[in-house]
Chains A and B, each alone.
Chain A
Amino acid sequence: IVLTQSPATLSLSPGERATLSCRASQSVSNFLAWYQQKPGQAPRLLIYDTSNRATGIPARFSGSGSGTDFTLTISNLEPEDVAVYYCQQRYNWPPRVTFGQGTRLVIK
């Protein structure tokens, strides 16, 4: 299953809302996760199974979608949100997991 993320880069100002998209080449049901990766760090799980926030993730981060089209929304952007965001499916598990190519979020 191929995951295609858009846009490749998103440039917004503090306080704005970011909408990141992830499209799957075939249905992944609701088995879609989102990760945030800051420079020099490991990815951090934000959302799993489309809309469940991981432990300690603020409510500014929310996920939605089903089947092949998914969205990560980040409200009230903060400078610390600068990162690359990856979607990831676990539907055809086993035998494999796949990630999208990432969306880079830039805060103006």
Chain B
Amino acid sequence: QVQLQESGPGLVKPSQTLSLTCIVSGVSVSSGSHYWNWIRQPAGKGLEWIGRIYTTGSTNYNPSLKSRVTIFLDRSKNQISLKVNSVTAADTALYFCARDLESAAGAFDYWGQGTQVTVS
């Protein structure tokens, strides 16, 4: 069974770098034809796609965040990671990792439970 589990520092100071990890179990992040995504949700608001990484390590980012975001794979730990530079209060949100459907890239069938990040 595929499971995703996000973790992070919880609280980050403005202008610093936010680092999150998503541990994946039940499947290898290095195999198959899936993209692994980061999505965030400010409290009481909608969902914003941050970016994705393929099993090969190729990435795509939301243009509005591209200059500050990096997603990478750690194959040895079977996890994906997210870094957001120069954070502000606007980066405060619940951050999810999600896997997309092999047959429909960009539709997300497995999600973690999310990790809350507050910038203050």
Contacts and interface: CB of A to CB of B under 8 A. Distances in A.
Contact of B46 (A31, A52, A93, A100): A100
Interface residues of A, number: 26
Contacts, number: 60
A49 B63 contact: no
The secondary structure that dominates the B interface is strand
A52 B101 CA distance: 12
B53 to A, nearest CB: 12
A86 B47 contact: yes
B96 interface: yes
Contact of B47 (A44, A90, A99): A99
Contacts of B112: 42
Contacts of A100: 46
Interface size class of B (residues with CB under 8 A): 20 to 34
Contact of A49 (B49, B60, B107): B107
A54 B109 contact: yes
Contacts of A93: 105-106
A90 B46 contact: no
A94 B107 contact: no
B95 to A, nearest CB: 11
Interface in B75-120: 96, 98, 101, 104-109, 111-114
Interface of B: 46-49, 60-63, 96, 98, 101, 104-109, 111-114
Given A33-B106, A90-B107, A95-B63, 4 more contacts: A33-B104, A43-B96, A43-B108, A99-B46
